[in-house]
Amino acid sequence: MSELPGDLKYTNEHEWLRQEEDGTVTIGITDHAQSALGDLVYVELPEIGLEVEAGGEMAVVESVKAASDVYAPISGEVVAVNEDLADDPEKINADAYGDGWIVRMKPSGDGETMTPDEYQAFLDELED
């Protein structure tokens, strides 16, 4: 398994968050999540402008194997979605922390997140 990017925060639902300079937060699923799901074949993206509470359903990623909900790790408004995923959902498999980003939110409230070390420890525990 590759090393976790150090500049991101993580959730126990296997999402990552990146604080952008303009105050928005970019969100995707982790490499662990994409690997567990297998090849992705469809991503259902939210509408721009959607207001979500932390923990609410925000998107759905579907792999050859199964459908999996993506939950909002923080409260806020969806200000951008990765339209490229409509035609190339496998971008998430190829580059989960980069081209495979899913949504960008304008935060209005925090959710529970982990540091890279904490998430790594969380993953290690899952392995056992």
Partner 1 sequence: MGKKTPLYDAHAEAGAKIVDFGGWDMPLHYGSQLEEHHVVRQEAGAFDVSHMTVVDVTGAGALEFLRHLLANDVARLKEAGKALYSCMLNHNGCVIDDLITYYLGPDRYRVVVNAATRDKDIAWINEQAGSFDVDVSERPELAMIAVQGPKARELAANVLAEEWRDKALALKPFYALEADDLFIARTGYTGEDGWEIVMPAEQATDLWNRFVDVGIRPCGLGARDTLRLEAGMNLYGSDMDETISPLEAGLGWTLAWDPEERDFIGRGPLTEMRANKGRHQFAGLLLEGKGVLRDHMRVVVEGVGDGEITSGGFSPTLQRSIAMARIPAGDYDRAQVEVRNKLLDVRVVKMPFVRNGKAQIEI
Q: Smallest distance from the beta carbon of 49 to partner 1, in angstroms?
A: 20
Q: What residues have CB less than 8 Å from 119, skipping those under 6 apart?
A: 4, 10, 30
Tokens of 108: 């209005």
Q: Which residue in 1, 19, 56, 65 binds partner 1 (CB under 8 A)?
A: 65
Site residues (CB under 8 A) for partner 1, limited to 15-54: 38-39, 41-42, 44
The string of DSSP letters for 84-118 reads GGGT-TTHHHH-TTTTT--EEEEEEE----B-HHH
- Minimum CB distance to partner 1, residue 71 (Å): 15
Q: Are strands 75-81 and 9-10 parallel, antiparallel or unpaired?
A: unpaired
* Interaction mask 90-109, partner 1, x per CB under 8 A: x--x----------------
Ramachandran bin of 98, using left for φ above 0, alpha for ψ from -120 to 50, beta for the remaining angles: alpha
How many residues are there in the chain?
128
Give the binding-site size for partner 1 (rule: CB under 8 A).
Answer: 14
Q: Which stretch binds partner 1 (CB under 8 A): 3-11, 13-21, 23-31, 65-73?
A: 65-73
Could you list the residues that contact partner 1 (CB under 8 A)? Answer: 38-39, 41-42, 44, 60, 62, 64-67, 86, 90, 93
